[in-house]
A and B are shown apart, each in its own frame.
Chain A
Amino acid sequence: MGAVGGVVVGAMGLAAESPYVFSLPSTLPLLRYAIRLDPLSAFFVLVISLVGVAVSVFALGYVREFYGRHSIGALGALYNAFLLSMTLVVLADDGFFFLVVWEIMSLVSYFLVVTEHEKAEVRYAGFFYLIMTHVGTAFVIVAYLVFYQQAGSFSFEAFRNPSEPLPQGLRSVVFVASLIGFGTKAGIVPLHVWLPYAHPAAPSHVSALMSGVMIKTAIYGMVRVYFDFLGGEFPWWWGFVILTVGAVSALLGVMYALMEHDLKSLLAYHSVENIGIILMGIGAGMIFQSYGLTQLAALGLLAGLYHTINHAMFKGLLFLGAGSLLYATHTRNMEEYGGLIRKMPWTAFFFLVGAVSIAALPPSNGFVSEWLTFQSLFLSFQIPDLLVKMMLPIGAAMLALTGVLALACFAKAFGISFLAMPRSAHARNAREVPPAMRVGMAGLAIICVLLGVAPMVVVPAIDRVTAPLIGVSIADKVLAEGGLALMPMGVGSASISTSVLGILLTLLVPVAWLMAVVIGGKLRKRFYRTWGCGITLKPRMEYTATGFAQPIKQVFSTIYRPTVKLETDLLEESRYFAKRMHFETHIEPVFQKYLYDPVVRSLNAVADRLRVVQTGSLQLYLSYIFVTLLILLLWVR
């Protein structure tokens, strides 16, 4: 529960003028255990800790799921180690130390993922995750090596102002390396493949941390490298690449999410989507930065960071909700839920809050950050370069599509899981979860709402983070109408005030009710079965998640490449009545099939080829030595 302390530290750091620094030397060369708390780290510490607190509370109840089957002690220890390592990652002030804690973070999370390693798919997920993240780390190492080469030391201070500035080529190497390195952790398309396996495999409270927070450390890494180390001077294509990657990740993430019926993998895919949105904000910021439009740059970055904290909150909340469902029904398959809103009203309500937030519906927090992203994309018309100018609105269109698909997806998730009739015995026997878990969810839900309706508090806080990176503070400009409204570009430009919208909405609901009463008099209700064309409705007749997503799959079939298999065996008597029908449909995992499998296959092929090296023949072995000897001798001579 050290997370509580983290909250304090984070808040302190945001409030502080100058960064706190302290460092204790290690006994290994080049390695310094250095800690530095500047606004950026503080912001992320805050994010981590807020989620950490809520999740820890939730975990108190949730781990009951594992009693007997797993050692709670180990689980708890790893869990706290995980929190600690994440905090250290964002606090580290030394490249080497960063790498160490970064790897430890991956390692601990790997252990957490494979908590239930009896299941083959969990093992696969964990292994896949470990490999991917390790490869990512290799790229991060490359990026840092470049810095080290210039700076002659691993300390971030030296990275910031190296002895001689990096040549453009190397800067681009750093850019690409860290994009791949951190992108693997963040789960950008096409490096996201591990994410939908690993996040669901972990215990739900851990998934909440991984999906809500861990992937944010990657965002931290990118911001740190691009804006801090590289001093925020980039060619325009960097920002453009980031933006494109973000847009693609967002769109594909939500599209694959729509096809998922395992609630947790669905949420995992949404993490891909939201990372994409965050990157769109940051990318836009970078583009503006490279054209010297610092205020807009600050705006884009602000949007990105705002969405970062928002996503941390509502994704954490949603994963906790999924955890509660799992806890209550012991299944992750949405098709087996249904009608749970009556069984577990609290969970349902919190989940709804999360759903509204992630679907970016006003006045939720998701709406604010997505709106800011929209604005920063819209304001691209100030960019001199025509091509870029024309591209950014397309990004906006993709963002819009993403948003509404997310809406559809969570309409599905919530509707199928909580509404209508129970679809299985699991759902019928579900019970509301213990208070500890509810409290955890409630905490996050409240934070979500606050982040939504009180941007006037959040924006200045984040501005403290962006100002040192970009060099301009825009809080006072963005906040208009006495802080009620957000107004990116000063008077006359667009602005929103979620608080006012919230007030209006909450006012108008009773108004509508009053009106109804005034016109229609007292409400008289009659309860009756749903009309089912005369026959009584069974759960089997309900619309399934698959059915719900069917039209979308149809429309975007070029992307999904669905394969449908329908086998029917008919009655002997008549060809018109089927005895039983078996229908199954799959969507093709494009990236795995065309990107990853070939690599693995070729590796195996090479290994098979090389077996002949080690045939077991002694004479052959001797001849290896002989030949090597002769070659070397001749080389020396």
Chain B
Amino acid sequence: MIESALIILSQAVAALLVSPFIVGLIRKVKARLQCRRGAGVLQPYYDLLKLFRKDVVVSTNTSWIFTATPYILFASTLTASLLVPIFLSKVPINFAGDVIAVVYLLALGTFFLILAGLDAGSAFGGMGSSREAIVASLTEPAMILSIFAVGLTAGSTNLSTIVHKTALLQDIVTDPPPHLMAFVALFIVTLAETGRVPVDNPATHLELTMIHEAMVLEYSGRYLALVEWASALKLLLFLTLLSNIFAPWGIATEAEPSWMALGVLVWLAKVSGLAVVIGVIESMFAKLRLFRVTDLLGVAFILSLLAVVFFYILRV
């Protein structure tokens, strides 16, 4: 009991601590690819600290929704991250929710974020909200299907089960093609969900091109800090999903301290690797027009669908 509580706690802490680092890493990579030295990978931590200290400016138009949203967003994202196996394949509270629950928890955050965007009454917030809505609605089906594709191999949508079985390669049925397709699909989904290029540009300062940034335009101080942190956490969450679902090797399958330590290291390596990849992609591609995004996500959807179909085809 105590042990599982500890594990949960450590998992939360790890996630919280690592997430800003990932953001910093991506920025660093991009800077390097643009032949800049760029800020240190720890810069996000300083930013967060600073933002927490600053006092906040709240629009007179806003309601309690606006002030509550950061906390709700943070809480929901953190809850989601507790359901995902990070360095231990069997999360103690895995019964509390499967991957669908994770998706919907993140959706909860998005929902309130959209509301908050509308709350201030500025056109930018509304614009960001509506674009976030469309992007989210386009990513969702692809996401569910790709998860199904993977879940089918383990015969369950319980993340821990999937990861555990895949890690031990025991009583699972798997073939490379569906996995690969699902992986690509989920990767695109990740880019879209976490607001990266080519769907959205987190570094932009031109309001009209913003999606996520436009939504949080009115936030400042600790609210902004919480929102930023939450989105960093979300990014980490997706990277973890990608790495642990498709390549869970090295993750601790037993709750042994040594194994878990190893698991943490391996996990860090994996997510950093993915972060680098994202950085590279971001500097290679330009941001797409909003209505071109559909094509990209369409590709993702088709891929995931093919993944499911292939899974069955190869079974018969």
B is bound to A = yes
Interface residues of A (CB under 8 A from B): 339, 341-342, 356, 359-362, 367, 371, 374-375, 378, 381, 386, 389-390, 393-394, 396-401, 403-405, 407-408, 410-412, 414-416, 418-421, 480-481, 484-485, 487, 489, 492-497, 500-501, 504-505, 508-509, 511-513, 516, 519-521, 523-532, 537, 539, 541-543, 547-552, 554-555
Pairwise interchain contact B118-A371, C-beta atoms closer than 8 A = no
Which residues of chain B (14-65) have a CB below 8 Å from chain A? 49, 52-65
User: Of B59, B100, B161, which is within 8 A of A529 by CB?
Assistant: B59
Chain A CB within 8 A of B177 CB? no
Pairwise interchain contact B122-A532, C-beta atoms closer than 8 A = yes
> For residue B67, which residue of chain A has the nearest CB?
A525
CB distance from A492 to the nearest CB of B (A): 5
Pairwise interchain contact A520-B52, C-beta atoms closer than 8 A = yes
Chain A CB within 8 A of B308 CB? yes
User: Of A362, A390, A415, A496, which is within 8 A of B115 by CB?
Assistant: A415
Whether A341 contacts B309 in the complex (CB less than 8 A), given A493-B156, A497-B96, comes out as: no
Pairwise interchain contact A420-B119, C-beta atoms closer than 8 A = yes
Chain A CB within 8 A of B123 CB? yes
Whether A552 contacts B137 in the complex (CB less than 8 A), given A341-B65, A393-B148, A396-B144, comes out as: yes
List 4 A-B pairs, minimum CB-CB distance, nearest first.
Answer: A543-B126, A420-B121, A415-B118, A524-B55
Whether A523 contacts B140 in the complex (CB less than 8 A), given A419-B121, A505-B75, comes out as: no
Kindly supply a per-residue 1/0 record for chain B positions 116-141, scoring 1 wherever the CB is within 8 Å of any chain A CB and 0 otherwise. Answer: 01111111011101110110111011
Pairwise interchain contact A548-B126, C-beta atoms closer than 8 A = yes
Residues of A with C-beta under 8 A to B105: 362, 501
Which residues of chain B (225-269) have a CB below 8 Å from chain A? 225-226
Interface residues of B (CB under 8 A from A): 49, 52-65, 70-72, 74-76, 78-79, 82, 93-101, 104-105, 107-108, 110-111, 114-115, 117-123, 125-127, 129-131, 133-134, 136-138, 140-145, 148, 151-152, 155-158, 161, 217-218, 221-222, 225-226, 290-291, 294, 301, 305, 308-309, 312, 316
Pairwise interchain contact A389-B79, C-beta atoms closer than 8 A = no
Pairwise interchain contact A530-B96, C-beta atoms closer than 8 A = no
Pairwise interchain contact A530-B49, C-beta atoms closer than 8 A = no
CA distance A401 to B75 in the complex (A): 24
Pairwise interchain contact A524-B56, C-beta atoms closer than 8 A = yes
User: Of B56, B143, B221, which is within 8 A of A400 by CB?
Assistant: B143
CB distance from A349 to the nearest CB of B (A): 9
Residues of A with C-beta under 8 A to B95: 480-481, 484-485, 487, 495-497, 500
Pairwise interchain contact B155-A493, C-beta atoms closer than 8 A = yes
Interface centre among B55, B57, B104, B127 (most CB of A within 10 A): B104
Pairwise interchain contact A549-B119, C-beta atoms closer than 8 A = no
Residues of B with C-beta under 8 A to A378: 148, 151, 157
User: Of B55, B129, B138, B312, which is within 8 A of A415 by CB?
Assistant: B129
CA distance A417 to B308 in the complex (A): 41
Pairwise interchain contact A419-B118, C-beta atoms closer than 8 A = yes
CB distance from B208 to the nearest CB of A (A): 11
CB distance from B38 to the nearest CB of A (A): 25
CB distance from B56 to the nearest CB of A (A): 6
CB distance from A337 to the nearest CB of B (A): 12
Whether A492 contacts B148 in the complex (CB less than 8 A), given A501-B79, A555-B134, comes out as: no
Residues of A with C-beta under 8 A to B218: 530-531
Pairwise interchain contact A548-B96, C-beta atoms closer than 8 A = no
Pairwise interchain contact B115-A411, C-beta atoms closer than 8 A = yes
Pairwise interchain contact A496-B290, C-beta atoms closer than 8 A = no
A-B contact pairs, 10 of them (CB 8 A): A360-B104, A362-B101, A374-B157, A411-B115, A495-B97, A530-B121, A543-B125, A551-B291, A554-B291, A555-B134
Residues of A with C-beta under 8 A to B117: 415
Pairwise interchain contact A508-B79, C-beta atoms closer than 8 A = yes
Pairwise interchain contact B291-A527, C-beta atoms closer than 8 A = no
Pairwise interchain contact A408-B133, C-beta atoms closer than 8 A = yes
CB distance from B178 to the nearest CB of A (A): 12
Residues of B with C-beta under 8 A to A480: 95
Pairwise interchain contact B52-A516, C-beta atoms closer than 8 A = yes
Residues of A with C-beta under 8 A to B291: 551, 554-555
User: Of A396, A421, A513, A519, which is within 8 A of B71 by CB?
Assistant: A513
Give 14 new A-B contacts, CB below 8 A, not counting A374-B144, A419-B121, A551-B134.
Answer: A359-B111, A415-B114, A415-B117, A421-B61, A493-B161, A501-B97, A508-B75, A519-B222, A524-B56, A525-B56, A525-B58, A529-B60, A531-B122, A551-B133
CA distance A554 to B69 in the complex (A): 29
CB distance from A291 to the nearest CB of B (A): 15
Whether A496 contacts B98 in the complex (CB less than 8 A), given A398-B141, A420-B118, A548-B133, comes out as: yes
CA distance A489 to B57 in the complex (A): 50
Residues of A with C-beta under 8 A to B120: 420, 530
Residues of B with C-beta under 8 A to A404: 107, 136-137, 140
Interface centre among B95, B123, B301 (most CB of A within 10 A): B95
CB distance from A97 to the nearest CB of B (A): 43
Pairwise interchain contact A516-B126, C-beta atoms closer than 8 A = no
> For residue A398, which residue of chain B has the nearest CB?
B141
Pairwise interchain contact A407-B158, C-beta atoms closer than 8 A = no
CA distance A412 to B121 in the complex (A): 13
> For residue B122, which residue of chain A has the nearest CB?
A530
CA distance A218 to B61 in the complex (A): 45
CB distance from A541 to the nearest CB of B (A): 6
User: Of B59, B74, B145, which is within 8 A of A393 by CB?
Assistant: B145
CB distance from B259 to the nearest CB of A (A): 21
CB distance from B234 to the nearest CB of A (A): 15
> For residue B55, which residue of chain A has the nearest CB?
A524
CA distance A340 to B192 in the complex (A): 33
Residues of B with C-beta under 8 A to A492: 156, 158, 161
Pairwise interchain contact A528-B108, C-beta atoms closer than 8 A = no
CA distance A523 to B75 in the complex (A): 19
CA distance A375 to B157 in the complex (A): 8
Interface centre among A341, A419, A421, A550 (most CB of B within 10 A): A419
CB distance from A630 to the nearest CB of B (A): 68
Pairwise interchain contact B100-A371, C-beta atoms closer than 8 A = yes
> For residue B138, which residue of chain A has the nearest CB?
A555
Pairwise interchain contact B158-A411, C-beta atoms closer than 8 A = no
CA distance A130 to B138 in the complex (A): 38
Pairwise interchain contact B131-A551, C-beta atoms closer than 8 A = yes
User: Of B59, B130, B140, B225, which is within 8 A of A528 by CB?
Assistant: B59
Whether A526 contacts B60 in the complex (CB less than 8 A), given A378-B157, A492-B156, A493-B161, comes out as: no
Residues of A with C-beta under 8 A to B63: 341-342, 418-419
Pairwise interchain contact A527-B118, C-beta atoms closer than 8 A = no
User: Of B55, B96, B119, B133, which is within 8 A of A552 by CB?
Assistant: B133
CB distance from A243 to the nearest CB of B (A): 16
> For residue B142, which residue of chain A has the nearest CB?
A397
CA distance A361 to B157 in the complex (A): 18
Residues of B with C-beta under 8 A to A525: 55-58
Pairwise interchain contact B130-A547, C-beta atoms closer than 8 A = yes
Pairwise interchain contact A411-B145, C-beta atoms closer than 8 A = no
Pairwise interchain contact B136-A494, C-beta atoms closer than 8 A = no
CB distance from A17 to the nearest CB of B (A): 32
Pairwise interchain contact A551-B55, C-beta atoms closer than 8 A = no
Pairwise interchain contact B56-A526, C-beta atoms closer than 8 A = yes
User: Of B61, B99, B143, which is within 8 A of A420 by CB?
Assistant: B61
> For residue B171, which residue of chain A has the nearest CB?
A492
Residues of A with C-beta under 8 A to B104: 360-362, 367, 371, 403
